[in-house]
Structure 1
């Protein structure tokens, strides 16, 4: 038995692992190899994501280099919206490719080169020049990410069986989280110093992760798929909007996901509260990375397995957990001494990031399983573009924080999570046979 087959049986068991749903027979025969390729590729890119996190790593290094605040404020919106908004238009071009793994592999290579460029930029530039260099490279990174995202869901649906997708992505998340957690612990306990040079090295390592992922992903055994619907991007986008008008479940899913952007937008506001209380945000990089990495490590596999049984329940549970974490954040803002705020907010961030991982794994598994080979790419592109458009308005939360206080924004985010749980209750159980 090969190493790939041994790992596959360890994840799924001999009986469960040999049952295939919703994929071609040839892809079923290649499950051990394909699952291994997905695991390595995803673990590598997710490790790279953690080492180049705009909310923590890039924001920290630009602060250290003296970049202006307005450029630092662009990092998260560019990273998130830039990776989502173009997807509706990229979907048509990707649809015209019978084998779509190459779209993901090339996009991963571009992302790696961009992150490597960031690593060089923080060594060469400082101040405004460093800020613009990072923002420019992050823009290209985000556009490549949009191609990778819309193609990945389709490739996953063609190469990994319906009952194994959540476990595959959840396991990759766990492996990556452990790697990022180790980096955060090294920073926290001064095993490595918190310096621009160390962050640059982390970015170069992240770049290498994306390049390795590109090579491994290209080895997938993907069966050529349907190419109808490929062609003119704007015509394809217009045609795909008819799916949104006609499919009530897609509308409900997008509404749920749109409300759950609160779990992704909230972390910088938690950091802000800690900084306002203690004024030592730069020294808190390690604990916040540890909290984020530990949350992924302890929850990703669980969320992935549960997603294979009911992604609907994962979305409901993670929404409620996010609401609870954010409610605690509002409470401690007024009750915890300033000297303890950074540590308490790190604990709150730990809770919130567990919820966030559930949101990410639940929504990814749900959109793949609710579609089929003819609609999956379009569903993914529609939902991502809609949420990306919402993220373009995320600057409004910053204005609200300036006018009413950071705690008000966090309270709004908590309310959004509660609303998401209510909306998600109406989603179908798409993991059930016949759903």
Structure 2
């Protein structure tokens, strides 16, 4: 099957206004976005701060303080630098090279983790893994910022959400394979050698992703516009620096500010699952085999929800964002209610099923927010919107992580109640967002 035919079978859209040459170019780029993102997902499922990396630190005997640092370093490190990097990206004509640098940095970081795990143990291994995770996270910020910009340049509105959905499906397949592989290769006693090999495979996956993404063709008109902007030099808007520009964008752009607020409150689907896992370990098997179903559940969520949520996001990412916030909050509250019943609390199915449903909700939320920010920005503000929103969320993650961590001292139930309440507030804010999807623009 020709690439154009394959792409058009995977991604549905109205192409009546696209010439044959344009359809070929979009298919070429779209398939490479899917391919590079799929390879990136292979690495992401291994270098996972919520599942695999804690197992790695436990296997090498690292102190628990390093385990506590994993999620904050992974999440905030990839978001905080983006507002500072955005002006640099905007002054460059060809922007895919930022993504390539990010993929290369992640490959180096994963290889460093593999070497550390293979030769070190105890606090030295823990320190090495966290430091390489910091490098990984900083490199990932380049991918996050440049990836959405290049996607907006190379794929039209109405098709971007489906591409995100496809990569989510592929990510789910990878997670299921990894979960089954861990059980088969190691069971309860997965050795350090197996984990080091997995990290090495992750490094190779990012190198392969780099090779695929390098073949994406940025449209000449976009490249020319970027070159003209670079030739013009600094503009008055930049004289205040990236902090001032970011604050001005949040202050003056009301729809964008509401989106950031909604996204900042919508942490329930991202931060709740680890607490479900913690509660499961108190009731059942805390070993590696016991965690396998959670990895598989995460994969099933992507496999089942990716395509569906991608199409729903192209129809109305605003409505999907609102529905995701409500669904995640209701799920958490229902889980807490069922957990109070002793007969249910000791059931094997409660925790992995809750984790699966939360992962499904989070899949919808991730696809919706990625599609929404790219669609609402247009060509001129896309990079700034992505960068400022991610940096703002990086700060919010640190604050929310500290609050939920403090509440967790009272028990994971207190932290879950806090996150559910924040999710319901997010739904209220999301309902006030303008609908920017392609279907709404044509009606």
- TM-score by length of structure 2 reads 0.91
1:365 has 2:371 as partner: yes
Q: Is 1:288 aligned to 2:294, yes or no?
A: yes
Counterpart contact for 2:50–2:274, Cα < 8 Å: yes
User: Which of 209, 217, 226 lines up with 2:213 in the alignment?
Assistant: 217
**1:388 matched to which residue of 2?**
394
Q: Distance in 2 between matches of 1:337 and 1:124?
A: 46
Q: Which moved more, 1:178-187 or 1:359-368?
A: 178-187
Conserved in 2, the CA contact under 8 Å of 1:27 and 1:221?
no
- Mapped to 2, the partners of 1:138 and 1:246 lie a distance apart of 35
Q: Which residue number in structure 2 is paired with residue 226 of structure 1?
A: 226
Q: CA deviation at 1:233?
A: 9.7
2:203 is aligned to 207
What does residue 238 of structure 1 align with?
244
Question: Aligned pair 1:301/2:307, yes or no?
Answer: yes
Give the structure 2 partner of residue 312 of structure 1.
318
* Aligned twin of 1:6: 5
Alignment match of 1:400 (pick from 387, 395, 407): 407
Cα distance between partner residues in 1 of 2:365 and 2:355: 15
Within a 5 Å distance, the mapping from 1:87-98 to structure 2 comes to 87-98=82-93
Question: How far 1:362 sits from its partner (Å)?
Answer: 0.5
Distance 2:91 2:285 in 1: 52
With over 3 angstroms needed to count, the CA separation of the structure-2 counterparts of 1:377 and 1:197, relative to structure 1, is same
Say whether 1:433 aligns with 2:441. Answer: yes
Output the CA distance in 2 between the equivalents of 1:168 and 1:29. Answer: 16
Distance in structure 2 (CA, Å) of the matches to 1:144 and 1:304:
26
- After superposition, the C-alpha distances for 1:366-412 in whole angstroms (9 at most, x for unaligned) are 0000011110000011110111001112123112111x211011111
Closer, same or farther: CA 401–240 of 1 in aligned 2, 3 Å: closer
Aligned to 1:166: 161
Instruction: Tell me, yes or no, if structure 1 residue 422 matches structure 2 residue 428.
Output: yes
Residues 338 and 345 in structure 2, CA contact (< 8 A), matched pair in contact too: no
For residues 339 and 276 of structure 1, what CA distance do their matches in structure 2 show?
10
8 A Cα contact 2:4 2:23, kept in partner: no
1:128 partnered with 2:123:
yes
Give the direction of change, closer, same or farther, for the CA distance of 1:302–1:45 in structure 2 (3 Å limit).
same
Q: Which residue of structure 2 lines up, in the alignment, with residue 265 of structure 1?
A: 271
Give structure 2 stretches of 5+ with no counterpart: none
Q: Deviations over 1:204-245 (max 9, x none)?
A: 222111111111111111021436487679713422432211
- Deviation of 1:26 (Å): 7.7
The Cα offsets for residues 35-92 of structure 1, whole Å up to 9 and x where unpaired, read as 0110001111122111211100001111122111111000000000000011000111
Query: Contact 1:255/1:423 (CA < 8 Å) preserved in 2?
Result: yes
Q: TM-score, normalised by structure 1?
A: 0.93
Q: Quick check: 2:41–2:174 contact (8 Å CA) kept in 1?
A: no
Residues 15-414 of structure 1 aligned to structure 2 (within 5 Å):
16-17=14-15, 19=17, 29-188=24-183, 190=184, 192-193=186-187, 194-223=190-219, 224=223, 225-226=225-226, 228=229, 235-278=241-284, 280-337=286-343, 340=346, 343-393=349-399, 394-402=401-409, 404-414=410-420
| Aligned partner of residue 378 in structure 2, secondary structure | coil
What's the secondary structure of 1:73's corresponding residue? helix
The count of corresponding residues between Structure 1 and Structure 2 is 428
Alignment partner of 1:331: what SS? helix
Higher mean displacement: 274-283 or 378-387: 274-283
**Separation in structure 2 between the aligned mates of residue 8 and residue 132 of structure 1, nearest angstrom:** 44
- Cα–Cα, structure 1 residues 335 and 195, in superposed 2: closer, same or farther, change >3 Å? farther
> 5+ unaligned residues in a row in structure 1: which ranges?
none
Q: Is the Cα contact below 8 Å between 1:181 and 1:293 reproduced in 2?
A: yes
Bigger drift between 291-300 and 317-326 goes to: 317-326
Q: 3-state SS of the aligned residue for 1:374?
A: helix
Q: CA deviation at 1:17?
A: 4.5
Give how far 1:19 is off.
Answer: 4.5
d(CA) in 2 for partners of 1:110, 1:416? 34
Cα separation, 2, equivalents of 1:263 and 1:9: 32
Say if 1:280 and 1:356 are closer, same or farther in 2 by CA, change over 3 A. Answer: same
* Distance verdict in 2 for CA 1:420–1:380, change over 3 Å: same
CA distance in 2, matches of 1:52, 1:168: 23
